[in-house]
A and B are shown apart, each in its own frame.
Chain A
Amino acid sequence: MLVTLARASLAGRRARTALAVVGVAVSAALLLDMVMLASGMRASFRELLDVRGFTIRLAPRGTLPFDTDARIDSAGAIMARLGANPDIVAVSPVLGGQLHVLGPGGGVTAVAIGINPAVQGDYTLRTGHDIAGPDQAVVSADLLAAAHARVGDTLDVAGGYDAQLRAVTRERRIVIAGTAHFIYTPANPKAMAMPLATLRAMTGAAGDPVSLFMLRLRAGADADSVQRWIERAIPRVSAVSTASALRQVDRRLSYFRQLAFILGSVSLTVGVLLVATLVTVSVNERLGEIAVMRAIGVSTRSIVAQVMLEGVAIMLAGATLGLGLGLVTAHYLNGILSQFPGLPAAIDFFLFQPRDAWVSLGLLALAGVLAGVYPAWRGASLPIAATLRDEAVA
């Protein structure tokens, strides 16, 4: 019966209810986006780090992976040292560089990654086959298109340019073994991966440098203790576990989270005020009706429940609409923010997680209850006789 009355009260004022629902939907969309923003980038970053099962990364001392051009020298010695730790089951060396794919019209400059194809964690093969020889590479679809090439074609690739001679140097013929999705590169990359030794030779690197190592641990190994062991055993590197990388990200993203918290709180407050105003107006229009209900024995608890039900119903209807709206706006905003230079394309600022939707819905339902408090109190505390007298006079 209370549900019928609450529904009828809302349905009886359709235009006003619809406007309130739309208002709450906008507020809910913003709230959802802010909740997604607060946790999305962190969760996305974690997914990115965990995607190939490498839980520790080594970078030159004092730097972070993906954060510097600095290199680690004597990589072979470090790999040998790492091999002594039984918790480390795989070591993937990665060297970053830049190569020039030669061709008519000036060619294409590409990001190059030198890896060990057997343990690499930088790409996922899409077509063709993986690298099987020193003069083979896998390339991104964008590079393939830019070079007007196909899988199986041979590219002329240079590792340097001599300004005095006006000529490219360290030229090599590379066969395209396949195409790949590159996990850590920005959107639409012109990228290629090749054997580590090939890239070293083409870039003229002296010794056996790498940009970073990615380590896979045996199941059950404690990443933190392995990290501490590495930093003791190899002082010239910084070891970053997924957990410590996330802590770094947390520090860097604290402004994002504060912004998200403030905007989320503002949107929630606006939603509460909007619904509280609407329900208060609705109660004020029904004072006589409520007084009669009280007179014939309807309890204050029932009146409070009915009014709060109206508030919660508006909030939840708005939240449902806002969920869709929030996802659309998050997708749009994500598209804009993903163009930020240097960020891996796989990073999502607004990552939808069911938990976020539940958190938003929970907050909005709570806000609906909160919005109903004042009008419910007003309805429940009416002086019955005086209200009926006023109604009769009116």
Chain B
Amino acid sequence: MSDAPLAVSARDLRRDYAMGDAPVHALQGVSLDVAAGDYAAIVGPSGCGKSTLLNLLGAIDRPTAGSVRIQGKPVESLSDREATRFRLLHIGFVFQRFYLMPALSAAENVELPMAEAGLSRAQRRARARELLRYVGLEARADHRPTQLSGGEQQRVAIARALANRPALLLCDEPTGELDAHTGAEIIALFERLNAGGTTIVVVTHDEELAAAARRVVHVKDGRILSDTRVR
């Protein structure tokens, strides 16, 4: 166990859904600590509750029971507005399907969270250029998502997730839509980010992505089966 402060701490998380008359117990008492600077991969079969866990860790869903603390702050008690603001400033999200705004250029997509946070246009532009340079896309700053390859779109999405310097980067199948070569580029980017101190939690089926993490958490049927530190 690391001595670093906890970036995220989940205790006895339960999440039930109503599906018709039968309730679905997506998570059945999951506890998980992720230290600041750690890089954890959550793996498991489809429908095991990985994405549900990620949503709870990212404060975009509320647990049926249990608690989540991010940087020591209990997020399940936040109002919708507070949770939105908290996500904006403290959590970065990367999705399998990139979900860039098609109407905005790469740079504008990166600027979007900063605009919401109230940064000036000059600050946003400078930071967006810096992030696009970091992910190797400075030359594509003015391109629309439809003019970018899948790998490029995902790198823009990662730059967007980092825009407000979040304490935690949550990634849901970030290589799921990419070919092996492009996936490897994203994996390398995550390693570089983590080496720079960014805390990363990824949900993945991708063995290579999981192998790149410092820690692998196996989930099955809404429970953690194993939690292995691999490096």
Q: How extensive is the interface on chain B, given as a class? A: 35 or more
- The CA of A300 and the CA of B97, in the complex, are separated in Å by 23
Q: Is A132 an interface residue (CB 8 A)?
A: no
Q: Is A388 an interface residue (CB 8 A)?
A: yes
Give which listed residue, B81, B96, B117, B160, contacts A300 with CB less than 8 A.
Answer: B81
Q: Is A84 an interface residue (CB 8 A)?
A: no
B116 and A295 form a contact (CB under 8 A): no
Query: In the assembled complex, how far is the CB of residue B63 from the closest CB belonging to chain A, in whole angstroms?
Result: 11
- The CA of A392 and the CA of B194, in the complex, are separated in Å by 27
Q: Is B113 an interface residue (CB 8 A)?
A: yes
Q: Is A244 an interface residue (CB 8 A)?
A: no
Give which listed residue, B86, B87, B95, contacts A388 with CB less than 8 A.
Answer: B95
- The CA of A177 and the CA of B97, in the complex, are separated in Å by 88
B112 and A12 form a contact (CB under 8 A): no
A296 and B87 form a contact (CB under 8 A): yes
Q: Is B193 an interface residue (CB 8 A)?
A: no
Complex interface: chain A residues within 8 A of B99 (CB) = 288-289, 292
B116 and A298 form a contact (CB under 8 A): yes
- The CA of A388 and the CA of B98, in the complex, are separated in Å by 12
The A270-322 residues at the B interface (CB cut-off 8 A) are: 288-289, 292-300, 302
Of A1-9, A254-262, A335-343, A366-374, which binds chain B?
A: A1-9
Give which listed residue, A5, A11, A295, A388, contacts B101 with CB less than 8 A.
Answer: A5
- The CA of A299 and the CA of B89, in the complex, are separated in Å by 12
The total number of A-B Cβ pairs within 8 Å is 83
- The CA of A388 and the CA of B203, in the complex, are separated in Å by 15
Query: In the assembled complex, how far is the CB of residue B152 from the closest CB belonging to chain A, in whole angstroms?
Result: 18
B161 and A296 form a contact (CB under 8 A): yes
In the complex, residue of chain A having the shortest beta-carbon distance to the beta carbon of B117:
A297
Give which listed residue, A4, A7, A9, A299, contacts B84 with CB less than 8 A.
Answer: A299
Q: Is A389 an interface residue (CB 8 A)?
A: yes
Complex interface: chain B residues within 8 A of A392 (CB) = 96-97
Q: Is A385 an interface residue (CB 8 A)?
A: yes
Q: Is A327 an interface residue (CB 8 A)?
A: no
Q: Is B192 an interface residue (CB 8 A)?
A: no
- The CA of A9 and the CA of B104, in the complex, are separated in Å by 11
In the complex, residue of chain B having the shortest beta-carbon distance to the beta carbon of A384:
B60
Complex interface: chain B residues within 8 A of A289 (CB) = 99, 101-102
In the complex, residue of chain A having the shortest beta-carbon distance to the beta carbon of B114:
A1
A299 and B108 form a contact (CB under 8 A): no
Complex interface: chain A residues within 8 A of B96 (CB) = 392
The B84-120 residues at the A interface (CB cut-off 8 A) are: 84-89, 91-93, 95-97, 99, 101-104, 108, 111-113, 115-117
Query: In the assembled complex, how far is the CB of residue A287 from the closest CB belonging to chain B, in whole angstroms?
Result: 12
B93 and A1 form a contact (CB under 8 A): no
Complex interface: chain B residues within 8 A of A7 (CB) = 103
What 0/1 readout, one digit per residue, does chain A (371-391) give for beta carbons within 8 Å of chain B? 000000000000011001101
- The CA of A59 and the CA of B89, in the complex, are separated in Å by 79
- The CA of A7 and the CA of B104, in the complex, are separated in Å by 11
The B128-157 residues at the A interface (CB cut-off 8 A) are: none
Q: Is B80 an interface residue (CB 8 A)?
A: yes
- The CA of A223 and the CA of B214, in the complex, are separated in Å by 94
Complex interface: chain A residues within 8 A of B97 (CB) = 391-392
A296 and B88 form a contact (CB under 8 A): yes
Query: In the assembled complex, how far is the CB of residue B68 from the closest CB belonging to chain A, in whole angstroms?
Result: 13
In the complex, residue of chain A having the shortest beta-carbon distance to the beta carbon of B124:
A1
The B193-222 residues at the A interface (CB cut-off 8 A) are: none
Q: A297-B89, A300-B84 are in contact. Are A4 and B60 (CB under 8 A)?
A: no
Complex interface: chain B residues within 8 A of A8 (CB) = 101-104
20 contacts between A and B (CB under 8 A): A1-B112, A5-B104, A8-B101, A292-B95, A292-B99, A294-B60, A294-B84, A295-B60, A296-B112, A297-B91, A297-B113, A298-B88, A298-B113, A299-B85, A384-B61, A385-B52, A385-B60, A388-B55, A389-B51, A392-B96
A contact residues vs B (CB 8 Å cutoff): 1, 4-5, 7-9, 11-12, 288-289, 292-300, 302, 384-385, 388-389, 391-392
Which 4 A/B pairs are nearest by Cβ-Cβ distance?
A297-B88, A8-B103, A385-B61, A292-B99
Beyond A1-B108, A294-B60, 11 additional contacts (C-beta under 8 Å) are: A1-B112, A8-B104, A292-B99, A293-B101, A296-B161, A298-B84, A300-B84, A302-B116, A385-B52, A391-B97, A392-B97
